[in-house]
C-alpha cells in the first residue's frame, strides 16, 4: 500500500468519524493535515477495537501488540500503520500519550462510575488530552524555548474541556451503556440520583448540576485559549476552530432545553460558519 493511499483511507475515516475535527483541521497544510488524520485514525481504531469487540480486553491487547511491533520497525501493510510510519519519520513524535489513551480504554472496561470531579478529569485526560499531546509535535514542530510546558498544559486543558463537553452531551447515550461519568459527589450535592437520570427528566436540580460541569469546561476552554498564541500561525486557526466548534456544543445543549437524554446536541452548519467567522 502506498503512503498516499493510506492517507486517503485515513481521511475517509476522519471525515466519517468527526466532521467537526475534519473541518477544523482542513485549514492546515496538506502534510500536517495528513499527519493529523493518521493520528485521528489511530485513536478511532483503538476506540472501535474496544467498543465493537465481544472480547474487548483481548482485542485491546492485540491492538497494542500491533503498536509495539510498529514501534519496533515491523512493516505492516495496513493504512493506519503505513500512514503513521510516515508521520513518525517526519515529526518528533512522543509515544507516551498513545499508550495513555489505551489506559483510558482500560478504565472504560472496568469502571462505569466516577466519584469525584478530579477522577472524571483524570479519565478525561486519558480519553482526550492525550490526543492533543499526540498532535503537539505536528502542530508545533519547533516550539520556542521555554514554551513547551505552557503548550503541554494548554493541550491538557483543552482536552479535558472537550471530554467534559462530550460527557455533558452524551449523558443519555452513556446511561444506555450503564455508564455515568458525571461525578457522584456533584450528583449528591445537587440532589440528583441515578433514578432521576434514568427517568429521564430535565429538572432545575439537573440543570444546576449540568451547568456546574459546563462552567468548569468553559473555564478550561478559556485557560487553553491563553496558549493559542504560542502556536505557529499555520496551525493556530485549526486549534482555535476545534476549540470554538466543540465549546459550541454546550450552547447547542442549552438550546435543546438541556435535554441530553433524547436529543443529541450539535452545532449546525450555519452556526459553525458563524463561530469560524470569529477567527
| 267 has pLDDT over 80 | no
Give the span between the Cα atoms of 159 and 220, in whole angstroms: 9
At 273 the pLDDT is: 67
Q: For residue 230, what is the DSSP state?
A: G
CB neighbourhood size of 115 (10 A): 11
**pLDDT above 70 as % of the chain:** 96
Q: What local confidence, expressed as pLDDT, does residue 276 receive? A: 60
The per-residue pLDDT for 53 is 77
pLDDT (tens digit, 9 = 90+) per residue, 137-167?
999 998 888 899 999 999 999 999 999 999 9
**Neighbouring residues of 27: CB distance < 8 A, sequence distance ≥ 6:** 237, 238, 241
Q: How many CA atoms lie within 13 A of 94 on its CB side?
A: 16
Distance of alpha carbon 133 from alpha carbon 51, whole angstroms: 23
Q: Which of 253, 102, 96, 59 is nearest to 171 (CA)?
A: 253
Per-residue model confidence as pLDDT tens digits over 167-194: 999 999 999 999 999 999 999 999 999 9
Distance CA(277)–CA(175), nearest Å, equals: 36
Cell numbers that stand for 67 in this block: 503498536
Q: What is the pLDDT of residues 70-129, one digit of tens each?
A: 999 998 889 999 999 999 999 999 999 999 999 999 998 989 999 999 999 999 999 999
What is the C-alpha to C-alpha distance for residues 10 and 78, in angstroms, rounded to an integer?
11
pTM exceeds 0.85: yes
Distance (Å, rounded) from C-alpha 138 to C-alpha 276? 22
* pLDDT value of residue 264: 87
What does the alpha-carbon distance between residue 108 and residue 57 come to, in Å, rounded to a whole number?
11
pLDDT attached to residue 49:
86
Give residue 274's pLDDT band: very low, low, confident or very high (50, 70, 90). low
pLDDT score of 265:
84
Kindly report, residue by residue over 237-260, the tens digit of the pLDDT.
889 988 998 999 999 999 999 999
What is the per-residue pLDDT for 275?
60
Contact 226, 240 (CB under 8 A): no
224 close to 217: Cβ distance less than 8 angstroms:
no
> What is the mean pLDDT of the segment spanning 204-226?
97
Q: What is the pLDDT of residue 76?
A: 84
Measured CA distances, 238 to 111, 147, 156, 172 (Å)? 33, 19, 17, 30
pLDDT at position 52 = 80
Residue pair 42/10 in contact (Cβ under 8 Å)? The answer is no
Locate the domains of the chain by residue range. 1-90, 94-279
pLDDT at 270 (0 to 100): 67
| 3-state SS, residue 111 | coil
**Rounded CA separation 112/127 (Å):** 14
Q: Which residues face 233 on adjacent strands?
A: none
Q: Which CATH number does the domain 94-279 belong to among 1.10.220.70, 1.10.600.10, 3.40.50.880, 1.10.260.40?
A: 1.10.600.10
Nearest to 223 by CA among 156, 129, 274: 156
Amino acid at each position: 500500500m502506498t503512503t498516499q493511499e493510506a492517507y486517503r483511507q485515513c481521511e475517509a475515516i476522519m471525515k466519517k468519524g468527526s466532521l467537526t475535527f475534519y473541518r477544523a483541521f482542513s485549514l492546515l497544510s496538506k502534510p500536517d493535515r495528513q499527519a493529523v488524520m493518521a493520528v485521528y485514525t489511530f485513536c478511532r481504531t483503538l476506540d472501535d477495537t474496544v467498543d465493537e469487540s465481544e472480547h474487548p480486553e483481548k482485542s485491546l491487547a492485540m491492538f497494542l501488540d500491533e503498536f509495539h511491533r510498529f514501534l519496533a520497525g515491523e512493516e505492516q501493510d495496513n493504512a493506519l500503520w503505513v500512514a503513521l510510519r510516515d508521520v513518525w519519520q517526519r515529526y518528533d513524535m512522543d509515544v507516551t500519550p498513545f499508550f495513555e489513551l489505551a489506559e483510558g480504554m482500560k478504565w472504560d472496561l472496568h469502571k462505569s462510575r466516577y466519584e469525584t470531579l478530579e477522577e472524571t478529569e483524570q479519565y478525561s485526560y486519558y480519553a482526550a488530552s492525550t490526543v492533543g499531546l499526540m498532535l503537539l509535535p505536528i502542530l508545533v514542530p519547533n516550539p520556542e524555548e521555554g514554551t513547551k510546558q505552557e503548550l503541554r498544559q494548554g493541550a491538557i486543558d483543552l482536552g479535558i474541556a472537550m471530554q467534559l463537553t462530550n460527557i455533558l452531551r452524551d449523558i443519555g447515550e452513556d446511561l444506555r451503556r450503564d455508564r455515568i461519568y458525571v461525578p457522584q459527589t456533584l450528583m449528591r450535592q445537587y440532589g440528583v440520583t441515578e433514578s432521576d437520570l434514568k427517568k429521564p427528566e430535565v429538572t432545575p436540580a439537573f440543570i444546576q448540576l449540568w451547568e456546574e460541569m459546563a462552567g468548569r469546561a468553559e473555564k478550561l476552554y478559556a485557560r487553553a485559549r491563553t496558549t493559542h498564541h504560542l502556536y505557529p500561525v499555520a496551525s493556530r486557526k485549526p486549534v482555535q476552530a476545534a476549540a470554538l466548534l466543540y465549546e459550541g456544543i454546550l450552547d447547542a445543549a442549552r438550546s435543546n432545553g438541556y435535554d441530553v437524554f433524547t436529543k443529541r446536541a450539535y452545532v449546525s452548519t450555519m452556526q459553525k460558519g458563524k463561530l469560524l467567522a470569529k477567527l
